[in-house]
Amino acid sequence: VIKCKAAVAWEAGKPLSIEEVEVAPPKAHEVRIKIVATAVCHTDAYTLSGADPEGCFPVILGHEGAGIVESVGEGVTKVKKGDTVIPLYIPQCGECKFCKNPKTNLCQKIRITQGKGVMPDGTSRFTCKGKQIYHFMGTSTFSEYTVVADISVAKIDAAAPLDKVCLLGCGISTGYGAVVNTAKVEPGSTCAVFGLGGVGLAVIMGCKIAGASRIIGIDVKKDKYAKAKEFGATECISPQDFTKPIQEVLVEMTDGGVDYSFECIGNVGVMRAALEACHKGWGVSVIVGVAAAGQEISTRPFQLVTGRTWKGTAFGGWKSVDSVPKLVTDYMARKIKVDEFVTHTLPFDKINEAFELMHSGK
């Protein structure tokens, strides 16, 4: 058993608490990882807020991490002690019907136990002050050591800087993949990106790499425009600057609508606007943002009857074990940006400050 520091969420709506936790050794088909770096994501904040119906407390959150394998359980063959890895919140077992289907990346092998905050055998590897602590998204990267299923880990280039590539565990991969895998944006396309946070910037980067000729960024926070343009946005607009709905503005700006739109916020009203900003006959809108539980999307069926397509994406459609090492390789070859997404680097015990920076849009 390893004793180490972790940021424990004891209850919903309260700040994280840095505690000494005990991390049990990995059982069969499990891997214990020393986490070197982790990022914070709105999904962590969503669960911490208490709005997540799958949220269990007390829990160790975090799902964008990178580290080194400390030890492996019986039967683990894909990774060994000392390997550099990224934990995966969407695993890839290679055996379930989802993994065998090229149309999806949604491996279901451990979905039920992962959603309940436990390892595949139904138990936790974390204890603190004598209490069992739940796992989160199969990863729990807000701990100096964590235990994950062996299908939830990708071995990556040992030379990769872990304080950067941890971002490939969720946000960057999600936005980039939404463009190249889900939408399949073609050269010369016109694209609209709603929400210019980390995921939105990754979408813009993907659109630029795909050869889009016009990339319109949409956000009410104008201090995000300069960064969006660095990533490839050709122009940025705020819905607050217009009296008419933003979809009507975009349809007028683009002679009938955009070829592709991406919703990167998780707001069902914006999802509707993103669909209705698409061009009749061929426009495709991809929902990337995660809306709160119980919310519903709406539009007039005529929008779809007249040739628009509404799609969604999870982790950018990447089959995780196969794809994350390749994304790291692409980053090392400077084909995709990662460093540019990092705004602040803080010591682990300042993790609550990191959440404050995220909530303030900084």
* CATH number of the domain within which 90 lies: 3.90.180.10
Domain extent for 291: 174-314
Amino acid symbol at 182:
T
Q: What angle do CA 362, 172, 14 make, to 5 degrees?
A: 50
Q: For residue 167, give both structure tokens.
A: 């971002």
Domain count, the chain: 2
**Whole-number pLDDT of residue 287:** 98
* Cβ pair 42, 199 in contact under 8 A: no
Render 57-76 in DSSP notation, one character per residue: SSEE---EEEEEEEEE-TT-
**Whole-number pLDDT of residue 160:** 98
Q: Are residues 158 and 35 in the same domain?
A: yes
Q: Are residues 9 and 62 in the same domain?
A: yes
The residue written with tokens 């608490």 in the block is: 17
Closest by CA to 172, choosing from 209, 141, 145, 127, is 209
Q: DSSP assignment, residue 26?
A: P
CATH code, 232: 3.40.50.720
Q: Are residues 27 and 145 in the same domain?
A: yes
Q: Are residues 87 and 214 in the same domain?
A: no
Q: Are residues 60 and 74 in the same domain?
A: yes
**Whole-number pLDDT of residue 53:** 85
Q: Are residues 155 and 29 in the same domain?
A: yes
Q: Are residues 89 and 221 in the same domain?
A: no
Q: Are residues 274 and 344 in the same domain?
A: no
Dihedral pair phi/psi, residue 200, rounded to 5°: -60, -40
Q: Are residues 193 and 98 in the same domain?
A: no
Kindly report the pTM of this predicted structure. Answer: 0.96
Render each residue's pLDDT in the chain as its tens digit; 362 residues: 999 999 999 999 999 999 999 999 999 999 999 999 999 999 999 999 998 888 999 999 999 999 999 999 999 999 999 999 999 999 999 999 999 999 999 999 999 999 999 999 999 999 999 999 999 999 999 999 999 999 999 999 999 999 999 999 999 999 999 999 999 999 999 999 999 999 999 999 999 999 999 999 999 999 999 999 999 999 999 999 999 999 999 999 999 999 999 999 999 999 999 999 999 999 999 999 999 889 999 999 999 999 999 999 999 999 999 999 999 999 999 999 999 999 999 999 999 999 999 999 88
Q: Are residues 25 and 130 in the same domain?
A: yes
Cα distance between residue 27 and residue 30, in whole Å: 5
* Cβ pair 297, 268 in contact under 8 A: yes
Q: Are residues 163 and 145 in the same domain?
A: yes
Q: Are residues 114 and 147 in the same domain?
A: yes
Cα distance between residue 106 and residue 319, in whole Å: 8
**Whole-number pLDDT of residue 114:** 97
Amino acid symbol at 331:
Y
**Whole-number pLDDT of residue 361:** 85
